[in-house]
């Protein structure tokens, strides 16, 4: 069901991602009659998400660090194209508290969690503690860091084997 133009949630939305996720966001915005701006690196000028969006703007050369992960370029692109909101897609920017902070500073609506929430969830041990306090079921395991083999053996005792060891970050 289409939303009347005078009831659109955003004036215009910048999609700060590429590929299939960008295509899906653009399609959803089209259904809501929200104009979209695609970002692209010089290598992706002919990509599907670029062709599908209402507007597109180049944000830099092909290395991701110079384009899709370049926060100043992406925020500037949103401002130059007069967007009122930014959707980071999944991965990369959606997991960077600094990106959400920059959007907020520039008065852009960030489609995602607040910067503080992103920051809290970056440490998996802290994230488990927060979720447990909120009553969210979590898998059995330790909330503390495992610094050496002895720590791992002690943490594994009450859990049993097999088990998985996961870094708290990344």
CATH classification of the domain holding 21? 3.40.50.20
136 in the same domain as 73: no
Q: What is the pLDDT of residues 23-58, one digit of tens each?
A: 999 999 999 999 999 999 999 999 999 999 999 999
**More confidently predicted of 1 and 124:** 124
The mean pLDDT of the chain is 92
pLDDT at 124: 83
13, 37 in Cβ contact below 8 A?
yes
**More confidently predicted of 73 and 155:** 73
40 in the same domain as 95: yes
Strands 55-60 and 85-87, bridge-based pairing: unpaired
Task: Report whether pLDDT(3) > 60.
Answer: no
128 in the same domain as 114: no
157 in the same domain as 89: no
9 in the same domain as 92: yes
84: which residues sit within 8 A by CB, 6+ positions away?
Answer: 10, 11, 12, 13, 108, 109
pLDDT at 169: 74
Tell me the C-alpha distance between 35 and 81, whole Å. 11
74: confidence class by pLDDT, cuts 50, 70, 90: very high
72 in the same domain as 35: yes
pLDDT at 4: 57
Structural domain total, the chain = 2
147 in the same domain as 98: no
pLDDT at 25: 99
Pick the closest to residue 12 from 68, 67, 78, 71 (CA basis). 78
Tell me the C-alpha distance between 104 and 109, whole Å. 7
**More confidently predicted of 87 and 152:** 87
154 in the same domain as 137: yes
pLDDT at 57: 99
Residue 63 is part of which domain span?
5-118
* Exposed / middle / buried, residue 21 (Cβ in 10 Å: 0-12, 13-18, 19+): middle
Q: What is the pLDDT of residues 82-113, one digit of tens each?
A: 999 999 999 989 999 999 999 999 999 999 99
87, 24 in Cβ contact below 8 A?
no
46, 52 in Cβ contact below 8 A?
no
Of 118, 137, 159, at which residue does a domain stop? 118
């Amino acid at each position: 069901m289409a939303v009347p133009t005078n009831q659109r949630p955003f004036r215009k939305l910048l999609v700060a991602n590429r590929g299939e996720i960008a295509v899906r966001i653009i399609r959803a915005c089209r259904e809501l009659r929200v104009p979209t701006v695609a970002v692209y690196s010089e290598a992706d000028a002919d990509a599907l998400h670029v062709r599908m969006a209402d507007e597109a703007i180049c944000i830099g050369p092909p290395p991701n660090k110079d384009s899709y992960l370049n926060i100043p370029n992406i925020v500037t692109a949103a401002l130059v194209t007069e967007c009122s909101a930014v959707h980071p897609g999944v991965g990369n920017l959606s997991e960077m508290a600094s990106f959400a902070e920059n959007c907020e500073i520039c008065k852009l609506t960030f489609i995602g969690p607040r910067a503080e929430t992103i920051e809290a969830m970056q440490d998996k041990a802290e994230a488990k503690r927060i979720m447990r306090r909120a009553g969210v079921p979590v898998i059995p395991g330790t909330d503390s860091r495992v610094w050496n083999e002895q720590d791992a053996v002690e943490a594994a005792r009450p859990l049993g084997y097999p088990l998985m060891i996961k870094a708290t970050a990344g």
